[in-house]
């Protein structure tokens, strides 16, 4: 582990950006709210949902203050992505399912 330290100016040190990001994630994904049935049984599914939310937030959602997506503002994209584009991109990263094993009849 690498320790990162510095001498920030106390006038400009604030946790408001992190707190705003946490609130945005909690409001945007039911998985982060309390008393919900939208949870992930596997950590891999949870991580995938967080990744999809991050891509949607940065590539498909037009932000009111920017009037464009953050990816367009950063020069990473030239258009607003559709949900179909996000799903197709995510599907390309998923491993293809392997051959299934033999069927076992439970009635015997």
Tens place of pLDDT per residue across the chain (108 aa): 788 788 878 887 788 888 988 898 888 888 877 666 777 788 888 888 888 899 999 999 999 999 999 999 999 999 999 999 998 888 887 778 788 878 777 776
Rounded to an integer, what distance in angstroms lies between the CA atom of residue 92 and that of residue 38? 25
pLDDT of residue 65: 93
pLDDT at 68: 96
Q: Assess if residue 87 is contained within a domain.
A: yes
Task: Look at residue 95 in the predicted model and tell me its pLDDT.
Answer: 78
pLDDT at 108: 60
Q: Is residue 8 part of a domain?
A: no
Is 71 domain-assigned? yes
Q: Given this model, what pLDDT does residue 35 score?
A: 67
The verdict on residue 28 lying in a domain is no
Note the pLDDT of residue 89: 87
Q: Which domain holds residue 66?
A: 42-94
How many structural domains are present in the chain?
1
Considering the domain boundaries, does residue 9 fall inside one?
Answer: no
Report the distance separating Cα 81 and Cα 58, nearest Å: 9
Q: What pLDDT is stored for residue 59 in this prediction?
A: 96
Residue 17: inside a domain: no
């Amino acid at each position: 582990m690498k320790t990162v330290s510095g001498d920030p100016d106390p006038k400009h040190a604030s946790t408001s950006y992190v707190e705003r990001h946490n609130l945005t994630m909690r409001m945007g994904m039911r998985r982060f709210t309390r008393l919900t049935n939208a949870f992930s049984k596997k950590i891999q599914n949870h991580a995938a949902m967080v990744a999809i939310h991050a891509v949607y937030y940065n590539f498909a959602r037009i932000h009111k203050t920017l009037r464009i997506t953050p990816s367009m503002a950063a020069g990473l994209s030239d258009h607003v992505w559709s949900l179909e584009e996000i799903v197709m991109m995510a599907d390309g990263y998923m491993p293809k399912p392997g051959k299934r094993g033999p069927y076992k009849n439970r009635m015997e």
